[in-house]
Amino acid sequence: AQTVTQSQPEMSVQEAETVTLSCTYDTSESDYYLFWYKQPPSRQMILVIRQEAYKQQNATENRFSVNFQKAAKSFSLKISDSQLGDAAMYFCALSEDSNYQLIWGAGTKLIIKP
């Protein structure tokens, strides 16, 4: 069965510095998608970045980038130049091509220190 594991319940970083959030996953399929979502206290889940498994190039969205290691089934999120507005819960999620459900990790709480 597919699983997503986030081993860091909480991370903190100084404003303007860089932080990396970890995620590992398990799937038997070759076609799948990986996501990082942000959930601020407002509860609104917001897509941060998406990676297609068939793409070797790591996805990048402004200050957010991923390190996708397909063989190791690892999908970490790097946030550069951290800002106070980045403080939130971050969830890693997996969607297999044959199964439209999103499978979620337990989340990492990111704290930004001013």
Partner 1 sequence: GAGVSQSPSNKVTEKGKDVELRCDPISGHTALYWYRQRLGQGLEFLIYFQGNSAPDKSGLPSDRFSAERTGESVSTLTIQRTQQEDSAVYLCASSSTLGGAYEQYFGPGTRLTVT
- Of 32 and 75, which CB lies nearer to partner 1 in the complex structure? 32
Please give the radius of gyration of the chain, using alpha carbons only, rounded to the nearest integer. 14
| 44 is a contact residue toward partner 1 (CB under 8 A) | yes
Q: Show the tokens assigned to 63.
A: 């200050």
How far, in Å, CA of 90 to CA of 5, rounded?
12
* Region from 15-23, 56-64, 68-76, 90-98 binding partner 1, contact rule CB under 8 A: 90-98
Q: Are 19 and 26 in contact (CB under 8 A)?
A: no
28 is an interface residue for partner 1 by CB under 8 A: no
- Cα–Cα distance list, 46 to 25, 40, 68, 71 (Å): 20, 9, 20, 28
Q: Any contact of residue 52 with partner 1 (CB under 8 A)?
A: yes
Contact pick of 59, 103, 110, 112 for partner 1 (by CB under 8 A): 103
DSSP state of 60: E
57 counts as binding partner 1 under rule CB under 8 A? no
Q: In the complex, which residues of this chain contact partner 1 (CB under 8 A)? A: 4, 6, 32-33, 42-47, 50, 52, 91, 93, 95-97, 100-107
